[in-house]
Amino acid sequence: MRHTHQPVGSPRSCGPSKVFPIGLGGMLLSIEGRPDRAQAIATIHAALDAGVALIDSASAYHVGADEVGHNETLIAEALAGWHGDTDQITVVTKAGRVRPGDGRWLTDSSPDHVIRTAEASRKRLGRARIDLFFLHAPDPTVPLVRSLEALRFLVREGVAATVGVSNVTVAELDLARDTLGDALVAVQNEFSPSATQHAAVLRRAEELGLAFLAWRPLGTIGKHADDLTAAFTGVGRAHGVSPQQVALAWLMATSPAVIPIPGARRAATIRDSAAAAALELAPETLRDLDRLTGWAA
Ligand SMILES: NC(=O)c1ccc[n+]([C@@H]2O[C@H](COP(=O)([O-])OP(=O)(O)OC[C@H]3O[C@@H](n4cnc5c(N)ncnc54)[C@H](OP(=O)(O)O)[C@@H]3O)[C@@H](O)[C@H]2O)c1
């Protein structure tokens, strides 16, 4: 796999916005195992204070069936209580996944559901328009073009400023581009040192000038005592930083389109992750990590 070894650190394009190259994934602040509200707000404030300018949410980031949009309400509350200029913060949200309250994640990307959810999300976020609205996932029971037409409707009606697609193949991304044109500004797929399966989608995103939001960007790094963790820990030790920072720096070096969105339940972890924006890895180190992750295969 080609490796572009882009310099990290400088802002990255996400549609019309230039954002800090690392975002905050909001999911863990609202699903099972979430922290209390004060800690969750403090985590979001720590991210913003560290320079993070993009927060990823979804209507489905909640636990109980009666608390759809928990994460969006939390983010709106955190932004309202932050000292900085929140007009500069891009809030991303999604529709298409649903949680009935028993722990399961189901899919509903029917046009009606997507449109109703977007309107409710916009109200919860308290913004005139949703900055960037994603189809959370294609729905095998709904022709994808119907879900994409719902996104097009939302842009036309001014509910969403821009849109994106998540958990897609190259062919699905191409259909999204054909259906949505320039309103499509981003794709969001899994990408980490332990999950490099969407390389072709990343390359297509680059060709189309889209941002690639890398979800679960840490993968197994620091979570399992495997060879990858050992390698990333070794590089981290040599630079005096955490293995998670090395993972984020490596992801950003794969392409200027990549914006990792690490999750956090604690202020300390997002502060540490944000510091990866300043971590430059040597070309030979990147090549070693490419080989280990399979990126160079
Ligand atoms: N589009 C989709 O279908 C989809 C699917 C999954 C996730 N996502 C998005 O992607 C985001 C990220 O995924 P994720 O949260 O599942 O996984 P992740 O970002 O790979 O990992 C998050 C975990 O790693 C820990 N961590 C983060 N930064 C760290 C650091 N610098 N040092 C040590 N530990 C660190 C956190 O610890 P603490 O909890 O202790 O802070 C947290 O438990 C989600 O929040 C969500 O917004 C999207």
Distance in Å, CA 157 to ligand 1 centroid: 33
> Is 24 within the bounds of a domain?
yes
For residue 53, being part of any structural domain is answered with yes
For ligand 1, atom 30: residue with the closest CA:
269
**Rounded distance from Cα 54 to ligand 1 centre (Å):** 14
Residue 71 is assigned to a structural domain of this protein: yes
Q: Tell me, yes or no, whether 66 lies in a domain.
A: yes
Question: Residue 249: which domain range?
Answer: 12-220+244-279
Q: Whose CA is nearest to atom 22 of ligand 1?
A: 263
Cβ atoms within 10 Å of 86's Cβ, excluding its own: 16
Taking CA atoms only, the protein residue closest to ligand 1 atom 8 is: 215
Band of the pLDDT at 2, cuts 50, 70, 90?
A: very low
Per-residue pLDDT of 22-70, as tens digits, reads 999 999 999 999 999 999 999 999 999 999 999 999 999 999 999 999 9
Contact between 6 and 202 under an 8 Å Cβ cutoff? The reply is no
Q: Which of 93, 218, 224 to mutate to test the pocket of ligand 1 (most atoms within 8 A of CB)?
A: 218
- For residue 54, give Cα distances in angstroms to 17, 90, 100, 149, 283: 10, 5, 28, 25, 28
Does residue 3 register a pLDDT over 70? no
Read off the CATH number of the domain in which 127 is found.
3.20.20.100
Q: Determine, yes or no, domain membership for 226.
A: no
CA of 263 to the centre of ligand 1 (A): 3
Alpha helices (runs of H) in 131-266, residue ranges in sequence order: 144-156, 170-180, 199-208, 227-239, 243-254
Do 156 and 163 contact (CB within 8 A), yes or no?
no
Asked if residue 292 is part of any domain, the answer here is no
| Mean pLDDT value across residues 250-275 | 98
Given a cut of 50, is residue 1 above it in pLDDT?
no
How many CB atoms neighbour CB 16 within 10 A?
11
* Any domain includes 82: yes
pLDDT tens-digit series, residues 86-139 = 999 999 999 999 999 999 999 999 999 999 999 999 999 999 999 999 999 999
- Position in ligand 1 atom list of the atom nearest CA 264: 41
- Ligand 1: residue of 135, 212, 216, 239 to mutate (most ligand atoms within 8 A of CB) is 216
Domain-located, residue 236: no
Instruction: Provide the token pair at 67.
Output: 């608390």
Q: Which of 269, 270, 271 to mutate to test the pocket of ligand 1 (most atoms within 8 A of CB)?
A: 269
Q: Which residues line ligand 1 (CB under 6 A)?
A: 25-28, 56, 136, 166-167, 188, 215-218, 222, 242, 244, 261-266, 269, 272-273
Q: 261: CA distance to ligand 1 center in Å?
A: 7
Distance of CA 282 to the CA centre of its chain: 26
Tell whether pTM > 0.95.
yes
pLDDT over 80 (residue 74): yes
Report yes or no: 120 and 59 within 8 Å, Cβ to Cβ: yes
Nearest of 3, 23, 19 to residue 11 by alpha carbon? 19
Is the C-alpha dihedral spanning 69, 75, 81, 85 positive or negative? Answer: negative
Which range (2-11, 95-104, 144-153, 199-208) has the least confidence?
Answer: 2-11
Mean pLDDT for the chain overall: 96
For residue 275, give the nearest of 17, 28, 21 by alpha carbon.
21
Which residue's CA lies nearest to atom 36 of ligand 1? 264
| Pocket mutation for ligand 1, best pick of 22, 24, 28, 229 (most atoms within 8 Å of C-beta) | 28
Distance separating alpha carbons of residues 29 and 80, to the nearest angstrom = 17
Q: Whose CA is nearest to atom 17 of ligand 1?
A: 216
The ligand 1 atom nearest the CA atom of 245: 31
Q: What is the number of structural domains in the chain?
A: 1
